[in-house]
Amino acid sequence: MIPLGQLRQLPLWRLAARAQPHVRWLSNYSRPAYRRFSSNGRPPFWQSRGFWYAAGTAGTGGLVYYELHIDESPTGRRRFIDISPAEEEKLGQAAYLQTMAQYRGQIVPRNAPADAFVRRVAHRVIGAAGLEGDWEVHVIHSPEKNAFVLPGRKIFVFSGLLPLAASEDGLATVLAHEIAHQYARHSAEKLSQAKVLSLLYMLVSLFVDPSLAQLGRSMTSLLLELPNSRQCEQEADEIGLNFMAM
């Protein structure tokens, strides 16, 4: 080792010559490539060829399933529905029982003026549209200005809507729109979309971020609770107007 005093007296070319072997050694040194392993010392499962074969098979099967369940709405719009009419009616019956329990004591009695009025207008629209089956009509005593139709031919009208409708024609317009939603199976369409969304979030949470699973459940619940899309609303308007014109 050269003393510090002598090192300061050496010319620069001598210092460079002495440092050159060390520089060559550092340039020849290559850091080993980093390779990520899982906790058991093996590469992550998603890096295996078998995983991608399985993913490709599942993806192809999913696309085939999706295409096989493409349905046309009454207006010719293509949409995905994988819920049968029988399943839809069963879900509607469950929602009907829940609604009747929720508004227990608020259901307007049969043959009361409001009930008779709504029932007369509803059957007028149903007859004009040529819809079959036994339809149930209920009036809920509430200031809420709303009406809805559940799968399985269950009609509910809030009494607060009646002054706003003002006449049989006004109420018929509202009921034709709500009946059109069920005629076009918009409830089944929304439930099918929720199933697809739930599956996508499950896959993302599995391979990207597990915390997204809760977000997926929240988004699916929100989709089911939100009103129908603008596209479905426009379609119900068109079908409802056709019902009124019959």
Active site positions, annotated: 178
Look up residue 111 and give its two tokens. 């043959």
SS3 110: coil
Look up residue 90 and give its two tokens. 């069963």
Count of H-run helices and E-run strands, the chain: 10, 5
* CA 42 – CA 36 distance, rounded (Å): 9
Which among 121, 101, 75, 90 has a CA at the least distance from the CA of 233? 75
* CA 192 – CA 5 distance, rounded (Å): 84
Within 10 Å of residue 9's Cβ, how many Cβ atoms?
Answer: 9
* CA 173 – CA 54 distance, rounded (Å): 52
Place of tokens 């050496």: 10
Whether 136 contacts 155, CB under 8 Å: yes
Which among 73, 98, 97 has a CA at the least distance from the CA of 180? 73
Q: Which long-range contacts (CB under 8 A, 24 or more apart) does 197-206 make?
A: 197/223
